[in-house]
Chains A and B, each alone.
Chain A
Amino acid sequence: GAGVSQSPSNKVTEKGKDVELRCDPISGHTALYWYRQSLGQGLEFLIYFQGNSAPDKSGLPSDRFSAERTGGSVSTLTIQRTQQEDSAVYLCASSLDYREGDEQYFGPGTRLTVT
């Protein structure tokens, strides 16, 4: 079956603009996760969803970041007023369930460059 898909694969934006990153999880997976990967910070967790709910948003780097998930499927990560330090690869993952460390399957990522 299809894996996790993300769009766009690459995004170049000017500082101060808003961007939306999309994630389409594996069908039937109830849990969805966002991470980002940058040279300086490695792989860092941002937020997870169980169904449409995100119980803990403390991993988001600032209040410019928000995420939502609708219909228990597609998720959108929005970054407002982008800054150069937001440049990174944003990775989405999904798992069958959020409990007990079910293996997370990752998408190809969106490479965001803020100029």
Chain B
Amino acid sequence: AQKVTQAQTEISVVEKEDVTLDCVYETRDTTYYLFWYKQPPSGELVFLIRRNSFDEQNEISGRYSWNFQKSTSSFNFTITASQVVDSAVYFCALFIQGAQKLVFGQGTRLTINP
């Protein structure tokens, strides 16, 4: 099976807390691509990051960081010092080569309370 699991359906934290969103994937491909998207209340999916299976370096972009671990098939996303504007649904996705499609997890609804 090729699928993505986001076990956390909803997370609620107070502003300035750090929060980690979990993503576990399954694939039989040796080359694959993982993504994170943000869907704010406005509804539009916003691309955050793309990672290929050959690059296990962690990435940091401002308050956002991603931890890719092939050994545990995980691609977790951490927001440091969360802000109210970070409130959104976050989706992890796996790109299926051949079928040329993104398979999405069920999403994690993140609420940052002031």
Bound-state CA distance A91–B103 (Å) is: 14
Let me know if A101 and B47 touch, CB within 8 A. Answer: no
A43-B91, A101-B52, A103-B50 known; A109+B43 contact, CB < 8 A: yes
Question: Within the complex, which residue of B95, B106, B107 is in contact with A101, where a contact is CB–CB below 8 Å?
Answer: B95
Contact residues in B for A16 (Cβ distance below 8 Å): none
B99 CB-CB contact with A under 8 Å: yes
State the main secondary structure of chain A at its contact with B. strand
Let me know if A108 and B44 touch, CB within 8 A. Answer: yes
Report, as a range, how many residues of chain A touch the other chain: 20 to 34
A65 CB-CB contact with B under 8 Å: no
State the main secondary structure of chain B at its contact with A. strand
Let me know if A103 and B35 touch, CB within 8 A. Answer: yes
Residue of B nearest to A48 (CB): B100
Sorted nearest first, the 3 A-B pairs with minimum C-beta distance are: A101-B33, A101-B95, A106-B45
Q: A33-B100, A106-B46, A108-B43 are in contact. List 16 more A-B contacts (CB 8 A).
A: A42-B106, A42-B107, A44-B104, A45-B99, A45-B101, A45-B103, A48-B100, A56-B99, A101-B32, A101-B50, A101-B52, A101-B95, A101-B97, A104-B35, A104-B102, A108-B44
Q: Which residues of A contact B (CB under 8 A)?
A: 31, 33, 35, 42-45, 48, 50, 55-56, 59, 89, 91, 93, 98, 100-101, 103-109
Q: Which residues of B contact A (CB under 8 A)?
A: 32-33, 35, 37, 42-47, 50, 52, 91, 93, 95, 97, 99-107
